[in-house]
């Protein structure tokens, strides 16, 4: 009897590819950021659908992690338990982001472009797990970022 070997690594590799690419990009950003001398913190305000605001400041980090650290509800219903854990695969951590300094946030990733589409990206929608605050800004004035959690599905 002859057995054929099945190559499982090919399918697993394709699924992990966006995650690994994001991980490598973050490592490069951290190396570049660590060489900077002056870093200004951004003021982040999370606004839930009821209008409740939670503010924090950070000079770097992923918006999803900052929201969870500050007990901000970014998931609804079953998505509180059934989410991808920040890998950009489920699309349930969407936010509408407004800021007065566009260079402070990372550019939309390929994962975001596929999940949200260009129309939503142009309206300010971002996946919080894919959006990173870059500490390369050396602005003298505070940079304000407003994140509306749980935006409408349309």
* Residue 57, both tokens: 């400041």
In a domain, 3, yes or no: no
| Averaged pLDDT of the chain | 77
- φ/ψ of residue 51, rounded to 5: 95, 0
80's CB contacts (< 8 A; 6+ apart) are none
In a domain, 136, yes or no: yes
Question: Residue 49 contacts by C-beta under 8 Å, 6 or more apart in sequence?
Answer: 148, 149, 150
Any domain includes 76? yes
The CATH number of whichever domain residue 63 belongs to comes to 3.10.20.30
Structure confidence at residue 4 (pLDDT): 56
How many domains, the chain? 1
Q: For residue 79, is pLDDT > 50?
A: yes
Which residues constitute the domain of residue 117? 8-149
- The model carries a pTM of 0.68
Give the pLDDT confidence of 99-132 residue by residue, as tens digits.
Answer: 776 678 889 999 999 999 999 999 999 999 999 8
Single out the residue of 79, 114, 93, 89 nearest to residue 19, CA to CA: 89
């Amino acid at each position: 009897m002859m057995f054929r070997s099945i190559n499982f690594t090919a399918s697993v590799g394709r699924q992990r590819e966006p995650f690994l690419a994001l991980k490598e990009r973050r490592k490069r950003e951290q190396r570049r950021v660590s060489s900077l001398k002056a870093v200004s913190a951004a003021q982040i305000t999370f606004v839930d659908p009821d209008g409740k605001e939670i503010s924090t400041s950070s000079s770097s980090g992923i918006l999803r992690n900052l929201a969870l650290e500050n007990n901000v509800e970014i998931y609804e219903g079953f998505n509180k338990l059934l989410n991808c854990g920040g890998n950009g695969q489920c699309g349930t951590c969407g936010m509408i982001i407004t800021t007065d300094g566009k260079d402070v946030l990372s550019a939309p990733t390929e994962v975001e472009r596929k999940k949200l589409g260009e129309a939503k990206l142009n309206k300010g929608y971002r996946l919080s797990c894919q959006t990173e605050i870059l500490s390369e800004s050396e602005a003298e004035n505070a940079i304000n970022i407003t994140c509306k959690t749980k935006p409408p599905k349309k």
